[in-house]
Amino acid sequence: MPRFAWISPPSPRVVSQYLTVFLVLASPLSANPALDEPHLSPLPRGATESARIAAVLAPPSDFTQPEPFEDHPAGTATVRYSGEKAFSHPSANLDDRLDFELGRALFEKLWVASPSSTRASDGLGPLYNTRSCHSCHINDGRGHAPDGPGDSALSFTVKLAVPAAADARMAEIEDYLATLPEPTYGRQVQDFAAPGQVAEARVSVDYEPVTVDLPDTTVTLRAPRVTLENLAYGPLDPAVTISPRVAPPLLGLGLIEAIPAADILAGADPEDADGDGISGRANIVWSLEYDQPMLGRFGYKAGLPTVRQQAAAAFHTDLGISTPIFPEGWGDCSAAQTDCRAAPHGDGDARVFEADATALDLTTLYSANLGVPARRGLDDPQVLQGKEIFHQAGCPACHRPKYVTHRLPDQPERSFQLIWPYSDFLLHDMGDGLADGQPEARASGREWRTAPLWGVGLAQRVSDRAGFLHDGRARSLLEAILWHGGEAQAAQSHVRALTAEDRAALIKFLESL
């Protein structure tokens, strides 16, 4: 049999998924609030256009050559860069370059504590993790985990939560798992403090080796153990859950936001009706901007609905900077941290908020329009071989390759683009090895949003210490695959059984993304 022939027909799940997408696209959007997209003004799709889109989105059957337009993963927004700054360029079709550069300046700004003579840049903290967005999102890419005790935890944070009863706004959302901030330390451990304040704790990470035998070699993984040392405000609540996270990459966020919610929801199979072992679920979260439930798309557990709310949340928890969405000048300081709440803040001037609506909008525009680099070597025979193996292993059941974005007359740079993010943006049980025990809206302590794969092959060119998975434990793409469990166990087992040649081809394909 030729190397690149289709070995087996598409799985029932893949066929069902594309049929469902067609049916949803051919119908008006549901009145379900989870489908509402108040931040967009999309044009409806007619039946003819929907059928055309469904044909474009169909899975490949020929692995001897690339698919049409596969070299442009972000459509006309694709950029042609592959060096250290590959993720830092504006989308190729973006006209508003001046505001993009103003947004970059805010993203790279070093904030200072109040009171300060630099009134436009004060308000940092009083407790914080970093002084600038850029410090964590290194070259707009991934952060990294500490290599061991004593190493810096910059670009690495620890989320905290305790169980709670769902409030009335979300009580009707099925499987909603409400949480509250830890009573003393809030939503996140801040390991830096303004003068006169005391940092909450010191984050330390060490690792236990985990060996995995492959047919021709043994791979040693590292299982992280996170310790919070020198807790400055007393013990943690006994019911607290702790979830370490590295800063995620920022490329293509605006295009992800422009994917029709109906298309993402069409891939969900929460009861595993087709019996393939994959039961993706949509996360439904509360929008602070629009005061309604919305589809979660962003964050490791899809806990945020829009790029703007994601930017505001980062200002709030990482820097202690107030915005119109999170107006508290003390950031994530809890009611128990009275000195922090009583400290000077930077919201007492004409800005009203430390990062006002204009600053938040510019930062959002920048984050939403960072370009996705073009594919590299996609017609290389080894890359094509690896793409076939990727499909044989069942990876597209979660890492869905492509979408067509909404038609958005007022946002031409995001409008009607064929994009290849390689994610279904749904929640999946990833097994005990990756479980953090921390719920987030509908996401359980074992569930994670499928990570987009575009740009993954350049991650360690952009930042040589970049780590993979939510906590940066994986030092290579192979290590990341070998941590997959739960719903991804069958795909992981397939990869473990590959020959060295086929495994190298799979990694070569991923590195081309």
Tell me the per-residue pLDDT of 208-249, one tens digit each, with 9 for 90 and over.
999 999 999 999 999 999 999 999 999 999 999 999 999 999
**Percentage helix, strand, coil for the chain under 3-state DSSP, each rounded to 5:** 30, 15, 55
User: pLDDT band at residue 422, thresholds of 50, 70 and 90?
Assistant: very high
What confidence tens digit (pLDDT) does each residue in 50-78 have?
999 999 999 999 999 999 999 999 999 99
Q: Please report which confidence band the pLDDT of residue 35 belongs to, taking 50, 70 and 90 as the band edges.
A: low
Token pair for residue 30?
């549901």
- Dihedral of CA atoms 289, 290, 294, 297 in degrees, nearest 10, equals -30
Bridge partners, 223 (sequence order): 208
pLDDT at 11: 43
Region 13-20: mean pLDDT is 40
Picking from 26-35, 331-340, 498-507, which range would have the lowest pLDDT averaged per residue?
A: 26-35
pLDDT exceeds 80 at position 17: no
> Which uninterrupted H or E stretch holds 418?
strand 418-419
Nearest 5°: the CA angle 180, 186, 187 is 70
Taking the C-alpha atoms of residue 382 and residue 362, their distance in angstroms, rounded to an integer, is 42
Give the mean model confidence (pLDDT) for residues 327-340. 96
- Report the distance separating Cα 304 and Cα 311, nearest Å: 10
How many CA atoms lie within 13 Å of 343's alpha carbon, on the beta-carbon side? 30
- 337-364 as b/e: b if 16+ CB within 10 A: beebbebebbbeeebebbbbeebbbbbb
| Residue 122: strand pairing partners | 112
Give the pLDDT band (50/70/90) at residue 13. very low
Q: In what order do the strands lie in the sheet with 241-246?
A: 179-180, 156-163, 241-246
Q: How far apart are CA 33 and CA 37, in angstroms?
A: 9
Residues in the chain: 513
Per-chain mean pLDDT for the chain = 92
Q: What is the pLDDT of residue 168?
A: 79
- Contact between residue 284 and residue 176 where contact means Cβ atoms under 8 Å apart: yes
- CA atoms lying within 13 Å on the CB side of residue 244: 25
